[in-house]
Amino acid sequence: MEKTLLLTISYDGRPFSGWQRQPSRRTVQGELEEALSEILRRPVKVDGCSRTDAGVHALGQCASFSGEIKIPTENLAYALNNRLPGSIRIVECEEKPAGFHARFNSRGKTYLYRITTGPMKDPFRRDHVYHVTRPLDTERMRVAAGLIEGKHDFACFQAAGGQPRQTTVRTIYRLEVEERPWAPFSDMGLIGSAPAAGEAGRGSAGGESCGEEPAAAGREIRLHVTGDGFLYNMVRIITGTLVDVGEGKLAPEDIPAILAGGDRTRAGHTAPARGLYLARIYY
Amino acid sequence: MEKTLLLTISYDGRPFSGWQRQPSRRTVQGELEEALSEILRRPVKVDGCSRTDAGVHALGQCASFSGEIKIPTENLAYALNNRLPGSIRIVECEEKPAGFHARFNSRGKTYLYRITTGPMKDPFRRDHVYHVTRPLDTERMRVAAGLIEGKHDFACFQAAGGQPRQTTVRTIYRLEVEERPWAPFSDMGLIGSAPAAGEAGRGSAGGESCGEEPAAAGREIRLHVTGDGFLYNMVRIITGTLVDVGEGKLAPEDIPAILAGGDRTRAGHTAPARGLYLARIYY
Confidence bin at B209 (pLDDT 50/70/90): very low
Amino acid at B26: R
Report the pLDDT averaged over residues B245-264: 97
Assess whether pLDDT exceeds 60 at residue B216.
no
Residue B190 has a pLDDT of 63
Decide if A127 contacts A55 (C-beta within 8 A): yes
A189 chain-B contacts, CB cut-off 8 A: 178, 222
A122 chain-B contacts, CB cut-off 8 A: 89
B interface test, pick of A280, A281, A282 with most B CB neighbours within 10 Å:
A280
Closest of A36, A38, A28 to residue A62, by C-alpha: A28
Does the beta-carbon distance from A202 to B123 stay under 8 Å? no
B208 chain-A contacts, CB cut-off 8 A: 280
Confidence bin at A228 (pLDDT 50/70/90): very high
Chain B (83-102) residues lying within 8 Å, Cβ to Cβ, of chain A: 86-89, 91-92
First to last CA, chain B: 24
First to last CA, chain A: 24
Assess whether pLDDT exceeds 90 at residue A205.
no
The tens digit of pLDDT for each residue in A102-112 reads 999 999 999 99
Chain B (254-273) residues lying within 8 Å, Cβ to Cβ, of chain A: none
Residue B208 has a pLDDT of 34
Residue A190 has a pLDDT of 63
Percent of chain B with pLDDT over 90: 85
Percent of chain B with pLDDT over 70: 90
Across chain A, the runs of DSSP E, i.e. the strands, are 2-11, 47-48, 57-68, 88-96, 108-117, 130-132, 150-153, 169-182, 218-227, 276-282
Residue B161 has a pLDDT of 76
Does the beta-carbon distance from A91 to B178 stay under 8 Å? no
Residue B206 has a pLDDT of 37
Cα–Cα distance measured from residue B10 to residue B59, given in angstroms and rounded to the nearest whole number: 4
Decide if B114 contacts B273 (C-beta within 8 A): no
Assess whether pLDDT exceeds 60 at residue B197.
no
Residue A186 has a pLDDT of 82
Could you tell me the CA-to-CA distances from A243 to A2, A88, A157, B10 in Å, in that order?
49, 30, 14, 27
The tens digit of pLDDT for each residue in B165-187 reads 789 999 999 999 999 999 998 88
Could you tell me the CA-to-CA distances from B65 to A30, A202, B43, B73, B260 in Å, in that order?
49, 18, 11, 13, 40
B101: which residues sit within 8 A by CB, 6+ positions away?
Answer: B47, B64
Confidence bin at A194 (pLDDT 50/70/90): very low
- CB-closest option in A10, A112, A194 to B123: A10
Assess whether pLDDT exceeds 80 at residue B11.
yes
Cα–Cα distance measured from residue A185 to residue A217, given in angstroms and rounded to the nearest whole number: 10
Cα–Cα distance measured from residue A19 to residue A278, given in angstroms and rounded to the nearest whole number: 11
Assess whether pLDDT exceeds 60 at residue A49.
yes
The tens digit of pLDDT for each residue in A68-119 reads 998 999 999 999 999 999 999 999 999 999 999 999 999 999 999 999 999 9
A226 chain-B contacts, CB cut-off 8 A: 193, 195
Residue B46 has a pLDDT of 98
Confidence bin at B41 (pLDDT 50/70/90): very high
Average pLDDT, chain B: 90
Residue A1 has a pLDDT of 79
Report the pLDDT averaged over residues B18-26: 97
Report the pLDDT averaged over residues A225-252: 98
Residue B162 has a pLDDT of 75
Residue A64 has a pLDDT of 98
The tens digit of pLDDT for each residue in A117-176 reads 999 999 999 999 999 999 999 999 999 999 999 999 999 999 987 777 789 999 999 999
Could you tell me the CA-to-CA distances from A156 to A144, A266, B275 in Å, in that order?
15, 7, 45
Confidence bin at A217 (pLDDT 50/70/90): confident
Residue B1 has a pLDDT of 79
Parallel, antiparallel or unpaired: strands B130-132 and B108-117: parallel
**Nearest CA to CA, how far is B190 from chain A (Å)?**
8
Report the pLDDT averaged over residues A173-186: 93
